[in-house]
């Protein structure tokens, strides 16, 4: 069968590469994709992810069995709805269901209704009221843009001054545009965070192995929030009991609540979970595979991913088998200056000879050379029997990277030691 992946980043590269490993798959197309994907035999199609009509025509012309939508923006723009309306199978939530990620306020209301554990909060669409609330609550406190902000619209403010600065940037200086016309202000939860993703079809929830993302730019979780600087899976120091509790108290009620809201969810539901003194609490929901979590979690999956998704789309029970040993770890290499202003067009070192996975994101080709074309440029992923072994493989290779042009964290996975 022919399959279609929508998106252009490292997550989509990992998805397409995993799907291509299936004996049942003939060709994997990716639109718009990136030049680095071609190295793994993925057919890159030059159609923008927001060009719904062209994407639908391509799917029909190329006998696509089903399509998976990687990023959040086309989901919120109703691409899954349009594919279904055209009689095409698609793995991804509807525009209304994707609101669980697109609006922090919507997600919070769902959590309150279904008694899903989460931080106390209030939402505001007026700057002065939000400012007064911060003064009343004090710090530390969390300020979130209500809408999508590419993983960067969250500020954990350690002081009231930091909180007020974040609020001013969001609501008065329009740092995130309309995404921050409403803000959600939350109590600051303390604890360790992990990513819990699951295949979901209505009320049926099929969890994946957990992972841990590293959001901050710099070592020891310092610096600004980014879209993610690396991840590893599994997270062995977070107990099975905590994971099971999170599945029962967070993922399953969320899926049920979406059905009750008449916004049933089909696709990948991602819960960001904080392990607090009083148990796991929900930080956020995403309506798709995480990035960079996908790049490590899919390498834990021993089942045929194409078969798993086909089975779910047919309303049948999938067989999920996961690696039971070792760890998969990935480190993002980003352009210097990310997540703010950064340069493009920097030639990439040749990494093809190493026995690791390279998932490309912000790249394009210039002749036979790959050059940088985004903030997060690529992720290097390796398996090890231990965290130290996986780190050793990756950091030995990354020590050769030009550190005047690129930046990466040197402590991905250290919490698991």
Q: How far is CA 374 from the centre of its chain?
A: 17
Counting the structural domains of the chain, the total is 4
Residue 150, domain member (yes or no) = yes
Span 113-125, mean pLDDT? 94
177 and 202 in a common domain: no
Span 130-142, mean pLDDT? 92
More confident residue, 351 or 7: 7
pLDDT in tens, 147-189: 887 666 888 899 999 999 999 999 999 888 888 888 999 999 9
User: Cα(201)–Cα(300) distance, rounded to whole angstroms?
Assistant: 22
Nearest partner of 111 among 284, 248, 289, judged by Cα: 284
Question: Got the DSSP string for 114-167?
Answer: TT--B--EEEESSHHHHHHHHHHH-SSEEEEESS--TT--EEEESSHHHHHHHH
Nearest partner of 293 among 378, 233, 237, judged by Cα: 233
354 and 267 in a common domain: no
For Cα atoms 141, 145, 149, give the angle at the middle one, nearest 5 degrees.
125
Contacts of 144 (CB under 8 A, 6+ apart): 104, 153, 154, 155, 183, 184, 185, 186
138 and 39 in a common domain: no
35 and 74 in a common domain: yes
Please give the helix or strand (H or E) that residue 85 lies within, else none. Answer: helix 79-85
Residue 115, domain member (yes or no) = no
Nearest partner of 380 among 328, 336, 341, judged by Cα: 328
pTM for the whole thing?
0.93
User: Cα(322)–Cα(305) distance, rounded to whole angstroms?
Assistant: 11
Residue 100, domain member (yes or no) = no
User: Cα(364)–Cα(28) distance, rounded to whole angstroms?
Assistant: 19
For position 352, what pLDDT does the model report?
63
Residue 120, domain member (yes or no) = no
Residue 55, domain member (yes or no) = yes
pLDDT in tens, 83-112: 999 999 999 999 999 999 999 899 999 999
269 and 332 in a common domain: no
pLDDT in tens, 294-317: 999 999 999 999 999 999 999 999
Q: Over 70: is that where the pLDDT of 49 sits?
A: yes
214 and 301 in a common domain: yes
Nearest partner of 71 among 359, 226, 371, 287, judged by Cα: 287
Residue written as token pair 């062209």: 54
User: Cα(69)–Cα(319) distance, rounded to whole angstroms?
Assistant: 22
**215: which 2 tokens?**
């959001």
Residues facing residue 285 across a β-bridge:
271
CATH, residue 386: 3.90.600.10
CATH, residue 146: 3.30.1490.20
User: Cα(255)–Cα(264) distance, rounded to whole angstroms?
Assistant: 7
- Inter-residue contact 358 to 351 (CB < 8 Å): yes
230 and 196 in a common domain: yes
User: Cα(188)–Cα(140) distance, rounded to whole angstroms?
Assistant: 6
Residue 277, domain member (yes or no) = yes
pLDDT in tens, 317-372: 999 999 999 999 999 999 999 999 999 999 998 776 677 999 999 999 999 899 99
197 and 177 in a common domain: no
Q: How far is CA 289 from the centre of its chain?
A: 5
Residue 376, domain member (yes or no) = yes
Residue 412, domain member (yes or no) = yes
- 3-state DSSP helix/strand/coil % of the chain, to nearest 5: 35, 30, 40
- Inter-residue contact 12 to 295 (CB < 8 Å): no
308 and 226 in a common domain: yes
State how far the alpha carbon of 283 is from the alpha carbons of 31, 50, 312, 317, in Å: 31, 29, 27, 29
308 and 362 in a common domain: no
User: Cα(193)–Cα(410) distance, rounded to whole angstroms?
Assistant: 19
pLDDT in tens, 259-298: 999 999 999 999 999 999 999 999 999 999 999 999 999 9
CATH, residue 279: 3.30.470.20
Q: Over 80: is that where the pLDDT of 59 sits?
A: yes
User: What percent of the chain has a predicted confidence (pLDDT) above 90?
Assistant: 88
Residues facing residue 124 across a β-bridge:
183
For position 353, what pLDDT does the model report?
60
C-alpha torsion angle, residues 64, 67, 71, 73 (rounded to 10): 90
Secondary structure of residue 103 in the 3-state scheme = coil
CATH, residue 50: 3.40.50.20
Nearest partner of 228 among 36, 382, 390, 11, judged by Cα: 11
210 and 253 in a common domain: yes
Q: Which domain holds residue 392?
A: 327-416
196 and 296 in a common domain: yes
For residue 350, give the DSSP letter. Answer: P
């Amino acid at each position: 069968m022919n399959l279609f992946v929508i998106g252009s980043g490292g997550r989509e590269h990992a998805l397409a590469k995993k799907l291509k490993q299936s004996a049942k798959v003939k060709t994997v197309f990716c639109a718009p994709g990136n030049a680095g994907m071609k190295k793994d035999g993925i057919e890159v199609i030059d159609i923008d992810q927001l060009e719904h009509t062209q994407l639908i025509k391509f799917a029909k012309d190329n006998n696509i069995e089903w399509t998976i939508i990687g990023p959040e923006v086309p989901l919120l723009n109703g691409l899954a709805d349009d594919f279904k309306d055209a009689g095409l199978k698609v793995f991804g939530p509807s525009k209304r269901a994707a609101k669980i990620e697109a609006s922090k306020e919507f997600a919070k209301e769902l959590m309150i209704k279904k008694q899903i554990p989460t931080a106390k909060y209030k939402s505001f669409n007026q700057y002065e009221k939000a400012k007064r609330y911060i003064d009343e609550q004090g710090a530390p406190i969390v300020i979130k843009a209500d809408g999508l902000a590419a993983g960067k619209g969250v500020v954990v403010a350690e002081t009231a001054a930091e909180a007020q600065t974040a609020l001013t940037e969001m609501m008065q200086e329009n740092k995130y545009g309309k995404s921050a016309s409403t803000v959600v202000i939350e109590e600051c939860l303390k604890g360790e965070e992990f990513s819990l993703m699951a295949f979901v079809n209505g009320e049926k929830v099929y969890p994946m192995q957990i992972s841990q993302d590293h959001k901050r730019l710099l070592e020891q979780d310092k610096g600004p929030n980014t879209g993610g600087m690396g991840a590893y899976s599994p997270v062995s120091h977070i107990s099975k009991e905590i994971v099971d509790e999170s599945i029962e108290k967070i993922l399953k009620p969320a899926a049920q609540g979406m059905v009750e809201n008449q916004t049933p969810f089909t696709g990948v539901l991602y819960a960001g979970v904080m392990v607090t003194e009083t148990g796991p609490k929900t930080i956020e929901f995403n309506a798709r595979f995480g990035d960079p979590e996908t790049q490590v979690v899919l390498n834990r999956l021993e089942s045929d991913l194409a078969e798993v998704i086909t089975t779910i789309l047919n309303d049948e029970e999938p067989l999920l088998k996961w690696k039971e040993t070792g760890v998969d770890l990935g480190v993002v290499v980003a352009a210097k200056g990310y997540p703010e202003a950064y340069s493009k067009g920097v030639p990439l070192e040749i990494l093809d000879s190493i026995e690791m996975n390279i998932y490309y994101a912000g790249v394009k080709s210039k002749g036979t050379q790959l050059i940088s074309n985004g903030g997060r440029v690529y992720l290097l992923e390796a398996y090890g029997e231990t965290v130290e072994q996986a780190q050793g493989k990756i950091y030995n290779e990354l020590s050769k990277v030009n550190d005047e042009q690129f930046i990466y964290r040197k402590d991905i996975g250290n919490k698991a030691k």
